[in-house]
Amino acid sequence: MNKILGRSVVAASLLFASWESIIPSAAQDVQRIAAVVNEEVISIYDVQQRMRILIASSGLPNTRETQRRISPQVLRGLVDEALQKQEAERLNIRVTPRDMEEAISRVEASNNIPAGGFQAFLQRQGISPLAAEEQIRTNIAWQKLLARTVVPTIEIGEDKIDDVIKRIEDNQGVTEFRVGEILLPVDNPADAPDIRSLAERLVQQIRGGADFRAVAQQFSKSASAAIGGDIGWILPGELEPSINTAISDLKVGDVSDPLEVSDGIAIIRLSAQRTNAPPDEGERVVHLRQLLLLVGEDAPQSEVDGQLQKAREISATVNGCSAFAAAAEEAGTPQPDNPAEFKLADLNAQLRGIASTIEVGQASEPLRQPSGVQVLMVCERDDNAGPNRDEIRSTLLRERVDMLSRRYLRDLRRAAFVDLRV
């Protein structure tokens, strides 16, 4: 690969010949070359096997028309995978047997294949196990490569998360949309008609009953492909203009026509919609510890004052839940291994006011209760009803990795020698 890396891309100047030669037939010489990628050969047989995989896993009809329409995209995908595999090998990325076992288990689960039934499934579909495993292995290697070389360069600052949260809060009462995507990149304008034709075929098949998630997993080049194209909840105006317009015209369950976007052609599915309501304060969860110094309701004031003074001393001197638990045990209040968990709505008004406002790890002022003097400490407070910062961070990271991954692959294409023979 290194001997040839840097040579200009030949693919841009080549025209696709008739794709009939790729459609499987008994007389086809499976050793015919479909493409050369740097020093690696992709055979007609490789293309045929990949077509079988895509058709079997996406639910597309196994017809000559389907094969003809998806052949260009199949070959493009194999070229990209060859580049990904070569780059992973250059960087000494290794895929272990454990990696393969876990990935195959995920494939079985996502395709409703009984556990351990992957090989039997391939045999029924006439798919070479080597071809299927090679696709899985290359995908694992590419994800490992991104984790090593791309993810460490990305920093999602707290200000970026704050911006998302503010946008969510500013749009309370606005309808949000749960969206799925299939992205078919167009790097060479000469390929645009073939890719649009494929997109139209995919839309037709999805509307006819093919599973959107399965089609996205096989055809989409977005990072969301791994999770069936799901890009989560979207606010109006967050995506490209063509997509925003399409979403507004869709009903839940509808699939858009092919849409021109900055990276190529997209297909959008509206999975669900909801009104972005303000968070319910009562749904917040707190993890509490408490200390109770016993004193009867009718005890003399001097006894009550003594317990209050003792509680104030504990409250003023402990900091953090571990110290609080130790002090409570010493004062005669046994503590469970873990703090008790409550929703704010489940506490009485007095305790709810304290638990919702006191700083985490700080003991409350003593409270006079019928059975004694109580001190509370909030060990953890969850804001389950509001935006989850970790989820927002993960979404922003996925979007950034997605963009940089496509840029990385685009640069590999530009630097590679690619000779298409069909």
Pairing, β 285-294 against β 340-343: antiparallel
CATH number of 173-277: 3.10.50.40
d(CA 87, CA 144): 11
pLDDT at res. 383: 58
pLDDT at res. 389: 80
pLDDT at res. 226: 74
Q: Where are the domains of the chain?
A: 11-151+416-420, 173-277, 281-382
pLDDT at res. 15: 31
d(CA 335, CA 107): 46
d(CA 399, CA 324): 43
Instruction: Write the DSSP assignment of 322-364 as a string of letters.
Output: HHHHHHHHHTT----SS-EEEEGGGS-HHHHHHHHHSPTT-BP
The helix (H) or strand (E) run that includes residue 198 is helix 192-207
pLDDT at res. 384: 52
d(CA 420, CA 422): 6
pLDDT at res. 239: 84
Same fold flag, 173-277 and 281-382? yes
Span 318-356, pLDDT tens digits: 999 999 999 988 888 888 888 888 888 888 888 888 888
**Number of Cβ within a 10 Å radius of residue 273:** 16
Is 85 within 8 Å of 141 (Cβ atoms)? yes
CATH number of 281-382: 3.10.50.40
Selection from 134, 271, 258, 159 nearest residue 205 by Cα: 258
- Pick out the chain residues at pLDDT < 50: 1-19, 26-27, 29
pLDDT at res. 94: 95
Supply angle C-alpha 169, 170, 175, rounded to 5. Answer: 85
Selection from 178, 206, 202 nearest residue 265 by Cα: 202
pLDDT at res. 153: 94
3-state SS, residue 421: coil
Task: Kindly indicate whether the domain formed by 11-151+416-420 is annotated with CATH number 1.10.4030.10.
Answer: yes
Burial class (CB in 10 A: 0-12, 13-18, 19+), 48: buried
pTM of the model: 0.64
pLDDT at res. 61: 81
pLDDT at res. 19: 46
d(CA 326, CA 324): 5
Span 20-56, pLDDT tens digits: 555 555 445 456 899 999 989 999 999 989 988 888 8
